[in-house]
């Protein structure tokens, strides 16, 4: 039962305070992200009201149907926002058959307003930042967050300040610049950009860096992936879920989201297993998992999966906790395997995901082959972004046919070429 004030009177819904993930010390809701005592990361704590499935089902078709479970004001659904979420959960029977699995689903977050899962976290961060009086929405980004923050700020008419590594995919650069706002490309890695953002955050106390000084609120947005998956499965949890890992926040919060649904009595208790997916060229969490370590040693990223290229992941240790506690695993795949899995998903299900889904599906296949994932158990994989954002990754892999004259003769002459295309398509399904 809730003892908190009705949400109409609170700025952060049913959120009550921030709590240190390391030592448990509490602090007031506000723009704090590190514990005063131990510098551990802070997390939002709540006093939830009784909540029924019907309450949620009667909400809007976006993440705000779960507003009671987020640190946002109760009338958030009526305010301007990009309104992300409620993306499709697609039953992937064709892909399941190729992989020898029984029941497989793809949670397709490319359907969000700026075509990645980052719209969820940007929207929650913006709502909380507005309540805290920030006037600028900012972020360091590996690309997708840049798109989401620039768009979210434009929608509500506030200034954005977005910093990215200069070597990002051109699609992600243009899809940030188009929204206006202050856009800075930095000669360096994401970890360099992140360090610069931390310095800027301490200089400008009216700038909300969504994933730095308002990170506790931002991270909560990823819980909505868990809520939607459970609701779309008919208020059940999947047995297994494979999640791409950059900072690790998404994975940790999906696990937290499942736990909250159980404690609220919205789903039955069950033993889900959570698996993390990284690219071999940036696999600090996978390496720590394999070595049995609790700490994550930073790496220099070198992979086509730029959206996941965080060499020093803030939530790395918590990812290790979650996968070990649920008897899951973390694994990584090469750039070639990433491209192959992007093609396999496209050819079997008609879903063109970005490099992150190549990582996620690649890791699913690897874990299946190693017997670490049960092919008979109901499984969900996340497609966290749109393939149109990472076209360069496919440039050498798909065959673009030469143009023909618009005549029947030319079509017939080119016949050998068509056969090759068909074979390439079936090949993608042949090797698992
Ligand atoms: C940011 C991102 C992720 C992972 O996010 P974290 O919460 O930082 O682990 C996954 N996929 C895509 C496409 C992303 O942009
Ligand atoms: Zn602490």
Determine whether the shortest distance from the Cβ of 221 to ligand 1 is under 6 A. Answer: no
The answer, yes or no, to whether any atom of ligand 1 lies below 6 A from the CB of 249, is: yes
Across residues 291-309, what is the average pLDDT?
96
Which domains does the chain show, CATH number per domain? Answer: 89-215+225-398 (3.40.50.1100), 402-432 (no CATH)
- The closest residue, in CA terms, to atom 12 on ligand 1 is 384
pLDDT greater than 50 at residue 430: no
Q: Ligand 1 in contact with 387 (CB < 6 A)?
A: no
The pLDDT confidence band at residue 429, using thresholds 50, 70 and 90, is: very low
The answer, yes or no, to whether any atom of ligand 1 lies below 6 A from the CB of 169, is no
Span from the CA of 420 to the centroid of ligand 1 (angstroms): 35
Give the span between the Cα atoms of 255 and 319, in whole angstroms.
9
Quick one: average pLDDT of 236-257?
A: 98
pLDDT at 89 over 70: yes
CA of 419 to the centre of ligand 2 (A): 62
In the block, residue with structure tokens 């996968």 = 323
Distances (CA, A) of 239 to 4, 108, 236, 270, 363: 34, 18, 9, 8, 17
Give the CA distances from residue 240 to residues 211, 244, 375, 377, in Å, rounded to whole numbers and listed in that order. 27, 14, 10, 7
**How many helices (H) and strands (E) are present in the chain, helices listed first?**
15, 13
Cβ atoms of 323 and 274 closer than 8 Å: yes
Do the Cβ atoms of 133 and 154 come closer than 8 Å?
no
**Arithmetic mean of pLDDT, 35-55:** 96
What is the distance in A from the centroid of ligand 2 to the CA of 4? 24
Q: Roughly how many angstroms between the first and final C-alpha of the chain, as a whole number?
A: 49
Please report the pLDDT score of residue 427 as a whole number: 53
Strand partners, 275: 242, 329
pLDDT for the residue 6: 45
Does any ligand 1 atom lie closer than 6 A to the CB of residue 211? no
Pair type for strands 182-186 and 159-165: parallel
For residue 156, report the distance from its CA to the centre of ligand 1, in Å.
24
pTM confidence score: 0.94
**315 Cα nearest atom in ligand 1:** 9
For the Cβ of 85 lying below 6 angstroms from any atom of ligand 1, the answer is: no
Ligand 1, atom nearest to 310 Cα: 8
- Predicted confidence at residue 2, as pLDDT, reads 44
For the segment 177-193, the average pLDDT, to the nearest whole number, is 95
What rounded mean pLDDT belongs to the chain?
Answer: 94
CA–CA distance, 360 with 346 (Å, rounded to integer): 14
Instruction: Tell me the average pLDDT across 169-198.
Output: 94
> Bigger pLDDT: 7 or 103?
103
Is the CB–ligand 1 distance for residue 384 below 6 Å?
Answer: yes
DSSP strand pairing (329-333 vs 379-383) = unpaired
- Which atom belonging to ligand 1 lies closest to the Cα atom of 249? 7
Span 47-55, average pLDDT: 96
């Amino acid at each position: 039962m809730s003892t908190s004030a009705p949400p109409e009177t609170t700025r952060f819904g049913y959120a009550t305070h921030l709590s240190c993930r390391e030592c448990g010390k509490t602090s007031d809701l506000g723009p704090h992200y590190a514990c005063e005592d131990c510098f551990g990361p802070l997390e939002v704590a709540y006093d939830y009201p009784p909540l029924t499935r019907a309450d949620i089902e009667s909400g809007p078709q976006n993440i705000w149907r779960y507003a009671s479970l987020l640190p946002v004001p109760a009338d958030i659904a009526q305010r301007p926002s990009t309104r992300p979420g409620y993306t499709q959960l697609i039953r992937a029977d064709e892909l399941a058959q190729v992989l020898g699995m029984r029941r497989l689903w793809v949670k397709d977050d490319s359907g969000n307003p700026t075509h990645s899962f980052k719209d969820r976290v940007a929207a929650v961060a913006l709502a909380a930042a507005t309540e805290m009086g920030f006037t600028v929405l900012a972020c360091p980004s590996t690309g997708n967050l840049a798109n989401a923050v620039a768009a979210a700020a434009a929608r509500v008419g506030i200034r954005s300040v977005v910093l990215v590594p200069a070597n990002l995919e051109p699609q992600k650069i243009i899809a940030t610049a188009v929204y206006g706002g202050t856009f800075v490309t930095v000669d360096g890695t994401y970890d360099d950009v992140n360090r610069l953002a931390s310095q800027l955050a301490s200089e400008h106390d009216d700038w909300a860096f969504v994933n730095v000084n308002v990170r506790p609120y931002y991270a909560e947005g990823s819980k909505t992936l868990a809520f939607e998956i459970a609701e779309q499965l008919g208020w059940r949890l999947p047995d297994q879920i494979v999640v791409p890992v950059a900072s690790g926040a998404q994975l940790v919060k999906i696990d937290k989201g499942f736990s909250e649904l159980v404690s609220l009595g919205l789903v039955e208790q069950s033993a889900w297993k959570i698996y993390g997916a990284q690219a071999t060229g940036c696999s600090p969490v996978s390496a720590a998992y394999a070595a049995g370590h609790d700490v994550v040693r930073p790496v220099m990223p070198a992979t086509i999966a730029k959206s996941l290229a965080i060499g020093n992941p803030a939530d790395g240790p918590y990812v290790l906790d979650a996968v070990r506690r649920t008897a899951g695993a973390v694994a990584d795949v090469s750039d070639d395997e990433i491209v192959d899995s992007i093609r396999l998903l496209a050819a079997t299900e008609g879903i063109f995901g970005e490099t992150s889904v190549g990582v996620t599906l690649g890791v699913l296949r690897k874990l299946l082959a190693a017997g670490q994932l049960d092919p008979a158990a109901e499984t969900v994989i996340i497609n966290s972004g749109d393939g149109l954002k990472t076209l360069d990754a496919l440039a050498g892999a798909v065959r673009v046919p030469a143009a023909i004259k618009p005549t029947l003769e030319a079509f017939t002459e080119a016949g050998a070429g068509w056969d090759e295309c068909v074979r390439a398509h079936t090949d993608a399904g042949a090797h698992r």
